[in-house]
Amino acid sequence: MFKTIEWKNNSVVMIDQRLLPTQEVYRKYKDFLDVAEAIREMVVRGAPAIGVAAAMGIALGALDIKTKNKKGFLKTFENVCKVIASTRPTAVNLFWAVERMKGVVRKNPKLNIEELKQRLVQEAKTIHKEDILINKQMGRNGSKFIKSGDTILTHCNAGALATAGYGTALGVIRAAVEDGKKIKVFADETRPFLQGSRLTAWELMKDNIDVTLITDNMAGYMMKKGLIDLVIVGADRIAANGDTANKIGTYSVAVLAKEHKIPFYVAAPLSTIDLKIKNGDKIPIEERDTREVTHIPAPASIKQGKNIQIAPHNIKVKNPAFDVTPNKFITAIITEKGIAKKSFEKSLKGLFGK
């Protein structure tokens, strides 16, 4: 089995997701600036995996601080956190991880620089380990929504590649398979970055889970034909009222699911829930390079000059990377702490013990 991200001998090793499914290349990072670039360029992507990469990037940055002066250390550490936090705006797991790493420093004012560095490395490793356990618990909580014989539609990649391992939406699917249920998955290809065709299809095939690839515009047809029993997707940020930001195109799938009376589930850890944000209108939506739309396949190849232009030169382009699905389209939100249902506001707060 592949490893999405790992801490190895004071470096961060990540599978380069831009090159999948045709090349399985692992990259080793020793400099936090390169980890920041890897998050921005989507070597690593998916909300929980971005959180883990952010924590490990901060740990690398801390290890590299040369000063013996505590005040100087804290100032440089703040800057490391700032750089990592500036990489991608939508997935709240990034900011959650930055806050957790800052918390290590805040809560241990008596530790010297060397001790702090070791604690920060430890925290990043803990975040990684916890994420896998959380996903497995989420899988167990969500498996009950799946019956043997079901066909599940998913959008983007909310799998092992989007997390430290196992996955959120694909974790629920994996748990159902482990429970002995015979299921089929339809994967939306997920234009423009193709996380569905390049990543979801790849990792489900590796696990021998029955997966069929469709283009995004085929989902409605499949639903009308009665070929989809339920939808499960991941999330990048869930507002206090349950409105959910996820990969662009998720909203259209949710609207279609409602029209066809198909349950629509979101699987996400508590670290993806942002109770500070009241509703989906307030979630920042990342706009990415227009070349993701005008050229194929992935940006890594584009940079190597192997791009194929599929739109006129100088065409005006929009490329929002995420959209927001209003809570009314969501049947339930599956988390490691249990299931949130309508009204989401109360239910989500309850999961945090509030």
Residue with smaller CB distance to ligand MRU, 43 or 120? 43
Nearest approach, Cβ of residue 33 and ligand MRU (Å) = 20
Task: Report CA dihedral (115, 120, 125, 127) to the nearest 10 degrees.
Answer: 140
Q: Phi, psi (5° rounding) for residue 338?
A: 135, -170
Under the criterion CB under 6 A, does residue 162 sit at the interface with ligand MRU? yes
- Residues with catalytic roles: 236
Under the criterion CB under 6 A, does residue 192 sit at the interface with ligand MRU? no
Under the criterion CB under 6 A, does residue 47 sit at the interface with ligand MRU? yes
Under the criterion CB under 6 A, does residue 46 sit at the interface with ligand MRU? yes
The burial of 175, by beta-carbon neighbours within 10 Å (0-12 exposed, 13-18 middle, 19 or more buried), is given as buried
Pick the closest to residue 44 from 17, 12, 13 (CA basis): 17
Is the Cβ–Cβ distance between 56 and 32 less than 8 Å?
A: no
Exposure class string for 189-210: b at 16+ Cβ within 10 A, else e: bbbbbbbbbbbbbbbbeeeebe
Closest CB to ligand MRU: residue number: 234
d(CA 240, CA 348): 7
Residues 57-96 within binding reach of ligand MRU (CB under 6 A) = 91
**Contact pick of 18, 45, 119, 128 for ligand MRU (by CB under 6 A):** 45
Instruction: Please give the structure tokens belonging to residue 245.
Output: 């930001």
**How do the residues of the chain divide into helix, strand and coil, expressed in percent and rounded to 5?**
45, 15, 40
Under the criterion CB under 6 A, does residue 128 sit at the interface with ligand MRU? no
Under the criterion CB under 6 A, does residue 48 sit at the interface with ligand MRU? yes
Nearest approach, Cβ of residue 163 and ligand MRU (Å) = 5
Under the criterion CB under 6 A, does residue 247 sit at the interface with ligand MRU? yes
Under the criterion CB under 6 A, does residue 136 sit at the interface with ligand MRU? no
Nearest approach, Cβ of residue 4 and ligand MRU (Å) = 11
Pick the closest to residue 246 from 4, 48, 40, 21 (CA basis): 48
Residues touching ligand MRU, count (CB under 6 A)? 17
Under the criterion CB under 6 A, does residue 142 sit at the interface with ligand MRU? no
Instruction: Please give the structure tokens belonging to residue 58.
Output: 């901060």
Under the criterion CB under 6 A, does residue 158 sit at the interface with ligand MRU? yes
Residue with smaller CB distance to ligand MRU, 38 or 116? 38
Under the criterion CB under 6 A, does residue 198 sit at the interface with ligand MRU? no
Nearest approach, Cβ of residue 106 and ligand MRU (Å) = 27
Instruction: Please give the structure tokens belonging to residue 205.
Output: 């095939």
Under the criterion CB under 6 A, does residue 200 sit at the interface with ligand MRU? no
Q: DSSP string covering 99-149, please?
A: HHHHHHHHH-TT--HHHHHHHHHHHHHHHHHHHHHHHHHHHHHHGGG--TT
**Contact pick of 321, 324, 330, 348 for ligand MRU (by CB under 6 A):** 321
Contact footprint for ligand MRU (CB under 6 A):
45-48, 91, 156, 158, 162-163, 168, 195, 234-236, 246-247, 321
